[in-house]
Structures are given as structure tokens and as C-alpha cells.
């Protein structure tokens, strides 16, 4: 059976109307030449003598007429099983029904195969409490509550953006038909007015949810599939969000009015979103926000021993923040893109005080405290503490623009704050840049978005989410501010031990953290060290890789072989690097391939793969060193990554790697560097 990329390669050769070299095809598909030859072998197995001739690495179609007929008449039948299943799911979702006999004919599969795919699709539908009913002439019809049908549609629309391009092209016709005559520009106008009137900004992820939800509202109401109920009705109709949405639905729909349940549905989604920035939302007496905010600030000031009661910015931000917080808690909606462990690790004292305050106020009605919500509130107070303790009048105002979610924005903000004496004015999503009202206060824009080239004649610095050596050099040149001097915990402890007897290490470390805060480098064994997760058996030197795909596949194979991950993680790492590899290149010739832990990581680990010769990646970038890693909890690897960055910046790492032939030499080199730092 041909894969989606096999079909795409054949289509490219046919449409090009001229021979193409294997090198050209490799560059077009961003894979190695060995992969291209594998695709060609698959095609020739199906096309027989009518396939592709390869002579001196030049690929030529042997029979263009046969290929044309093949692509026109047989292409759908040769989709991968996953694509066939996805086609059937999309037809069911966006057309509402599916006829297995017709599907069997169109995809040239047996009826039993079609039923097999439908069994898998039924498992998906069960997750949304949806069913299939047989109807005369229609076939299988999607049935269930309107709310659950919309949840399924929303999931498919959000996932479409992350599908391989080959699958997107195949599914595009179904989506285009469904979206036909839905005025999407109205949705953008509607969301812009809503944000402006309510004084908040949605993150890019939340904006996508709202956009697709509005699209679904337009499509479903157009066929008279409307909502007839809504949970928390009494609360929703008293919210200012409901009133604003209701007063501006004429922007969204002009032919008919939305019923109140449709408006409540959009209100619920909006309230459950994480606001990137907000101000001046009206108080809701139902929650008695004003009194609660005052109590929280007063108690926090007491336990932190810093008076924050006069901070109006803190008061207003909390007043705005509590409405979506309360609503999420009441409806058991988790905070998106938030990991409390990162906040707890970076701001331990601030987090602990926040936890103490919320416990005393019995803020959480359940048996356990919601740690992500606690972390989110902690960030408000950390910002207030910074305002109180530091004068930002002479600092440059930095605006961070990042579309990769809260975690990435927060990490970049922390790196800038830790390294430079600047004021990070805001972190905003890309879509909000045009509406950002404080742009006149911005001195410099720092962004991870390559396509952002100009904005109000401001200097724009393009960096990676994890600052590379080149990024640091660029920031050093452009920010014109001194980099902060930071000191290691281990250095302080060694100095203290020479003059004193330490009776309580934990208390001493806690006091040092409180006194030095972000001036302190925590290298005291808080997480696993670089040597803990990079033993000699995880190091492979002088490997002759054919291309970047081969290099990462080999590195992933070491993680699989040594028991860190299962096979799925190796595949996920390849997919992640193919789609987001530019963000994983941390220095010239050095990359840190990795993937999200989706139940595929057994323990935190890292591999080091050094190639004989560099391989080419996107835009001609050459790569020779790969620190591939996996993290069990997204925290354990952080110190090791910092150690890798320091190793690269503070030693002749690249030059030394060329002379090493034994993994144990690398381990000794790392040990010597660590000892010098202590």
C-alpha cells in the first residue's frame, strides 16, 4: 500500500513535466535521499514497468499517460489506512452521514475493511457520547446531543492544523464544502470587537478555539441544528461577557438572530479561556470579588512580609482573573498550557505563600487544591513583587511576541529577566499585535516568529524559545544593558563550609534562594544532572549519517534500546523535528531533538550523537551534534539542558568532540567542566 508521501511524490513528478534529481526531491520533501529512494521503490512496485526510472540520480516518468490515468482513477484507493479512516471520519463529521457501500466503491476497499475502519471511528465517537444510526438511503447517521457533536467538530478543526500536509490536501475538499458561504471575516471582526469591549486579549490557542467555535455556530444554525439548553444559565446571563456578545451578534450573523443558548455557549467558552491581558471588567456580586481580592492581597502581604495593598495593578488584574478562575473551578475545566511545577520551581517562596493564603481562605471547594490555578495566581503576585522591589524607570521595555503557548512565552520571559536588566512589558500572542494599546511604551520587540519583520519602526530581535549562543550574542549587541552576574548554589555552599559548620542545609538553601532569587543558579542536585541522564552508553561518536532523518532516528533508537522510551517516542521525535526543528537548533550545528511525553517515556534520559560530517536541515542549516532527550515529567531534564548550554558556551566543545573516539572521553570532559564550575 502506498503512503501519502508516495502519492505526493508521484504527483510532483507528473506536474513538474520534467525530470527531477533525487537531491531536488529530497530538498522538496525535507527528507534524506535514502527516503526518496524508498518512496520510489514503493511506487515502482505498484506501477510496474510504467513507473519511475532513476539514472545518475535523475528521476524520469516512464509512461506519463499511464501515470495520469493512475493518479486520476486510482489515487484514492492507494491512500494509507490512516488517511482512509480520517476521510471517513471527516465525511461523517462534516456531512453528518456516511454510506459504507459508496465509501467501499470510492476507496476500492471491501465492505468488511470499511466496517473495520468504522469500528475504530465508533471508538472515537464513544469518547464524545455519540452514536451511529442506520437510516434508509443515507446510511449511517451521526446522532447525539448538539453539544457533543460540536465538541467533536471543534476537535477535528483544531487537529487539522497539525496534520501532515498530504492529509490536509486530501481532506481539504470536505472542509471547503462545509465552510462554503460562511463569512469568516465576520468572525475575526466579531472577536476583535469582543476583546476590545471587554478589555482582554485571548492567547492564540484560545483565539483559535473561539474562531472555530463561531464557525461551527454559523454552520450548525444554517441547517437549523441549534442549542436548546445550557448549563449554568443563571450565572452566564449575569456576566458582562454575555451582554457584550449579545449586543454584537449582528456582526457575526446578519441573516438571522442567535438564540440565547448559542450566546451562552460562546460566553462559556470565552469565560473559560485564559486572558493574556485584561482590565476594567465589571465586578460580579455573585462571587463578591472585591472583598475576596482584598483578603487575598492582605494575607499575601502579611505572610510574604511585603506590603502590596496599594498596588492598584495587582488589584485590577486579580479582579479580572477571578471570574474565569471561578468558572473553571465550578465546571472542572483545567487550565490550558500551564504546568505548576515550572512556577513552583522558579518561584518557590511566592508559590508556597500563595498556597498558604488560598488554603486559609478555603478558596478551593474540593478536597484538593488546584495547583495549576495556584501557580497562575502566583504569577500575578510575582509581577507585583517585582514592581514593588525594583525600579524599572531606566530599563528598556521589552515586548515578547510568541505563538507557541504560555509555557514557551513564560520560559523566554524568564530567560530574558534572568539574563538582562530589562523590563519585560508584556508577552502577547501574534494575533493581538495590531490591537496592542501599549505599543508606544515598547523599546524593543523580541519574538520567536520569523515572519514578523516590521512593527511601528521598532527594533525586532528574532530568537529561539530556548536562547542559543547566537541569540545571546544578538541580545548583547542590541539591548546595550549589562548581563546579570549570577552565582552557583554549590559555589556558595563550598565557601560557607570552609568557614562554618552547616547544621541545616535545607534551611540555608531556603534562605539563599529567598535572598538571591533569580541571581542564584540552582545546581545543588535539585533535578537530575547532565551526567545522570547522559551515561557513556548513551553516546555515539563519528556516526556516518545519510541525512538529518537518519541521525535523529539513530539517536531515538539509543533511547529505545536503553529503556528510556518506547518505539512511539522515536517516531514522535522525528515528527516534531520535521515540523518544529528550527526551534530545536540551539547553536551553530547543534540541535536538541525531543517530543512531548504522551505516555511513551519510561524515564528521563539524553543521548549525544556526533556525526562524521554535518547533515543539511531546513534552509541549508548544517547539523553535526544532536543532544536528543526525553523527560518523564517535563521538569527533570531542565538542569541538564542548562548544563548542555553552558558546556557549549564555556568550552571548546565542538573542537574537542572531533578528537574524541570513546564515549568515556566525553564523560570525563563533562566531569572536568563541572568540577571547574564548582
CB atoms closer than 10 angstroms to residue 305? 7
Which tens digit of pLDDT belongs to each residue from 455-498?
888 999 998 766 777 788 888 877 656 555 667 777 788 888 88
> In this predicted structure, what is the pLDDT of residue 23?
87
Which grid coordinates belong to 610? Answer: 556526533
Judge contact between 87 and 163, C-beta under 8 A: no
Question: Confidence class of residue 635 from pLDDT cuts 50, 70 and 90?
Answer: low
The pLDDT score that the predictor gives to residue 272 is 67
Q: Can you tell me the mean pLDDT for 255-272?
A: 85
Q: What DSSP character marks residue 396?
A: P
Spell out the residues 6+ positions from residue 28 whose beta carbon is closer than 8 angstroms to its own: 12
Q: Is the pLDDT of residue 592 over 60?
A: yes
Nearest Cα residue to 320 out of 268, 285, 283, 372: 283
Q: Which of 217, 329, 212 is nearest to 262 (CA)?
A: 217
Residue range 101-133, pLDDT digits in tens: 888 888 878 888 888 889 989 999 998 899 999
Distance in angstroms (rounded) separating the CA atoms of residues 427 and 396: 15
Residue 426 has pLDDT above 70, yes or no: yes
Whether 518 shows a pLDDT value over 60: the answer reads no
Sorting pLDDT into bands at 50, 70 and 90, what band is 142? very high
Task: Give the lowest-confidence range in 218-227, 246-255, 273-282, 422-431.
Answer: 273-282
Closest CA to 146 of 181, 208, 96, 190: 96
State the pLDDT confidence band at 607, using cuts at 50, 70 and 90: very high
Average pLDDT along the chain: 81
CB atoms within 10 A of CB 316: 16
Q: What is the pTM of this model?
A: 0.49
CA dist., res. 139 & res. 116, Å (int) = 16
Most confident of 34-48, 332-346, 387-401: 34-48
- Are the CB atoms for 558 and 569 separated by under 8 Å? no
Give the three cell numbers for residue 529.
Answer: 544532572
84 vs 142: which has the higher pLDDT: 142
C-alpha span between 274 and 202 (Å, rounded):
7
Run of H or E residues at 25: helix 22-29
Of 22-31, 197-206, 402-411, 648-657, the one with minimum mean pLDDT is: 402-411
pLDDT, position 141: 94
**How far is 161 from 371, CA to CA, in rounded Å?**
30
Residue 541 has pLDDT above 90, yes or no: yes
The CA-to-CA distance between both ends of the chain, in Å, stands at: 58
In the block, cell 519585560 appears at: 424
The pLDDT tens digits for 210-242 are 999 999 999 999 999 999 987 667 667 877 888
Nearest in space to 408 (alpha carbons), one of 436, 435, 427: 427
Average pLDDT (573-600) is 81
At 488, which helix (H) or strand (E)?
strand 487-488
d(CA 32, CA 545): 10
- Residue 246 above 80 pLDDT? yes
Which single residue is written with the C-alpha cell 547543534?
590
Mean of pLDDT values over 521-526: 55
The percent of residues in the chain predicted with pLDDT above 90, rounded, is 24
Q: Cell numbers 523527560 correspond to what residue?
A: 631
Entry field: residues in the chain: 678
Give pLDDT tens digits for 144-187. 999 999 999 998 998 888 776 667 878 888 999 999 888 899 99
| Max Cα distance, the chain (Å) | 89
- Residue 263, pLDDT score: 93
Apex 531 CA angle, 527 and 532, nearest 5: 50
Highest mean pLDDT out of 361-365, 402-406, 614-618: 614-618
Is residue 31's pLDDT more than 60?
A: yes
Question: Is the per-residue pLDDT at 674 higher than 80?
Answer: no
Predicted pLDDT of residue 287: 36
Residue 96 binned pLDDT confidence (cut-offs 50, 70, 90):
very high
- When pLDDT is averaged across residues 89-111 and rounded to a whole number, the result is 88
User: What cell numbers appear for 147 in the block?
Assistant: 453539544
Cell of 163: 496534520
User: Would you say the C-alpha torsion 103, 104, 105, 109 has a positive or negative sign?
Assistant: positive
- 3-state SS class at 636: coil
Q: How confident is the model at residue 392 (pLDDT cuts 50, 70, 90)?
A: very low
For residue 450, pLDDT beyond 60: yes
| 490-512 tens-digit pLDDT | 778 888 888 888 877 777 877 88
pLDDT of residue 277: 38
User: Distance of CA 40 to CAs 9, 453, 547, 548, Å?
Assistant: 8, 40, 17, 20
**pLDDT above 90 for 578:** no
Instruction: Give the pLDDT band (50/70/90) at residue 292.
Output: confident
Q: How far is CA 322 from the centre of its chain?
A: 25
The lowest-confidence range among 119-133, 293-307, 521-535 is 521-535
Amino acid at each position: 500500500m502506498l503512503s501519502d508521501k508516495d502519492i505526493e511524490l508521484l504527483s510532483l513528478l507528473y506536474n513538474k513535466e520534467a525530470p527531477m534529481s533525487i537531491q531536488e526531491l529530497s530538498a522538496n520533501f525535507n527528507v534524506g535521499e535514502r527516503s526518496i529512494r524508498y518512496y520510489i521503490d514503493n511506487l515502482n512496485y505498484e506501477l510496474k514497468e510504467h513507473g519511475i526510472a532513476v539514472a545518475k540520480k535523475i528521476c524520469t516518468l516512464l509512461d506519463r499517460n499511464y501515470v495520469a490515468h493512475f493518479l486520476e482513477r486510482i489515487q484514492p484507493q492507494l491512500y494509507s489506512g490512516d488517511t482512509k479512516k480520517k476521510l471517513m471520519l471527516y465525511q461523517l463529521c462534516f456531512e453528518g452521514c456516511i454510506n459504507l457501500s459508496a465509501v467501499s466503491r470510492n476507496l476500492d476497499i471491501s465492505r468488511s475493511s470499511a466496517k473495520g475502519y468504522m469500528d475504530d471511528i465508533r471508538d472515537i465517537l464513544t469518547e464524545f457520547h455519540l452514536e451511529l444510526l442506520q437510516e434508509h438511503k443515507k446510511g449511517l447517521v451521526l446522532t447525539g446531543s448538539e453539544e457533543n457533536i460540536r465538541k467533536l467538530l471543534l476537535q477535528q478543526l483544531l487537529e487539522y492544523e497539525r496534520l501532515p500536509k498530504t492529509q490536509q490536501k486530501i481532506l481539504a475538499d470536505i472542509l471547503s464544502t462545509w465552510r462554503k458561504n460562511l463569512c469568516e471575516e465576520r468572525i475575526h471582526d466579531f472577536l476583535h470587537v469582543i476583546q476590545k469591549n471587554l478589555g482582554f486579549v485571548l492567547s492564540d490557542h484560545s483565539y483559535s478555539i473561539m474562531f472555530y467555535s463561531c464557525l461551527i455556530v454559523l454552520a450548525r444554525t444554517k441547517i437549523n441544528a441549534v442549542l436548546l439548553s445550557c448549563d449554568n444559565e443563571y450565572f452566564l446571563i449575569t456576566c458582562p461577557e454575555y451582554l457584550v456578545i449579545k449586543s454584537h451578534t449582528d456582526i457575526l450573523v446578519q441573516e438571522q438572530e442567535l438564540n440565547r443558548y448559542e450566546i451562552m455557549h460562546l460566553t462559556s467558552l470565552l469565560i473559560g479561556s485564559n486572558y493574556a491581558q485584561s482590565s476594567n471588567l465589571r465586578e460580579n456580586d455573585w462571587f463578591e470579588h472585591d472583598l475576596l481580592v482584598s483578603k487575598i492581597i492582605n494575607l499575601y502581604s502579611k505572610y510574604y512580609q511585603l506590603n502590596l495593598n496599594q498596588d492598584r495593578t495587582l488589584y485590577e488584574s486579580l479582579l479580572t482573573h477571578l471570574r474565569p478562575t471561578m468558572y473553571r473551578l465550578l465546571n472542572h475545566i483545567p487550565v490550558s498550557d500551564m504546568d505548576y511545577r515550572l512556577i513552583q520551581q522558579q518561584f518557590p517562596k511566592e508559590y508556597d505563600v500563595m498556597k498558604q493564603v488560598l488554603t486559609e481562605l478555603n478558596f478551593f471547594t474540593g478536597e484538593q487544591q488546584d495547583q495549576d490555578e495556584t501557580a497562575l495566581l502566583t504569577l500575578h503576585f510575582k509581577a507585583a513583587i517585582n514592581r514593588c522591589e525594583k525600579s524599572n524607570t531606566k530599563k528598556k521595555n521589552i515586548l515578547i511576541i510568541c505563538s507557541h503557548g504560555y509555557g514557551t512565552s513564560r520560559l523566554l520571559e524568564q530567560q530574558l529577566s534572568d539574563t538582562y536588566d530589562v523590563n519585560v512589558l508584556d508577552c502577547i500572542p501574534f494575533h493581538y499585535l495590531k490591537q496592542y494599546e501599549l505599543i508606544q511604551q515598547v523599546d524593543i520587540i523580541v519574538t520567536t516568529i520569523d515572519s514578523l519583520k516590521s512593527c511601528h519602526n521598532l527594533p525586532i530581535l528574532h530568537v529561539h524559545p530556548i536562547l542559543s549562543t547566537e541569540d545571546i550574542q544578538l541580545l548583547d549587541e542590541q539591548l546595550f544593558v549589562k548581563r546579570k552576574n549570577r552565582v552557583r548554589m554549590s559555589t556558595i555552599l563550598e565557601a560557607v563550609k570552609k568557614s562554618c559548620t552547616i547544621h541545616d542545609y535545607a534551611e540555608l538553601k531556603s534562605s539563599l534562594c529567598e535572598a538571591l532569587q533569580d541571581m542564584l543558579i540552582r545546581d545543588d542536585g535539585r533535578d537530575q544532572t547532565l551526567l545522570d541522564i547522559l551515561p557513556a552508553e548513551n553516546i555515539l561518536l563519528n556516526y556516518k549519517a545519510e541525512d538529518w532523518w537518519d541521525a535523529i532516528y539513530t539517536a531515538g533508537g539509543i533511547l529505545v534500546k536503553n529503556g528510556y522510551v518506547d518505539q512511539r517516542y522515536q517516531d514522535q521525535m522525528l515528527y516534531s523535528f520535521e515540523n518544529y526543528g528550527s526551534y530545536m537548533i540551539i547553536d551553530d550545528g547543534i540541535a536538541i531533538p525531543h517530543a512531548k511525553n504522551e505516555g511513551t517515556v519510561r524515564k528521563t534520559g539524553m543521548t549525544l550523537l556526533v556525526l562524521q560530517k554535518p547533515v543539511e536541515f531546513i534552509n541549508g542549516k548544517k547539523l553535526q551534534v544532536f543532544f536528543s532527550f526525553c523527560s518523564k515529567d517535563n521538569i527533570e531534564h531542565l538542569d541538564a539542558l542548562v548544563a548542555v548550554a553552558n558546556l557549549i558556551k564555556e568550552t571548546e566543545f565542538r573542537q574537542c568532540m572531533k578528537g574524541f573516539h570513546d564515549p568515556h572521553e566525553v564523560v570525563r570532559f563533562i566531569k572536568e567542566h563541572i568540577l571547574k564550575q564548582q
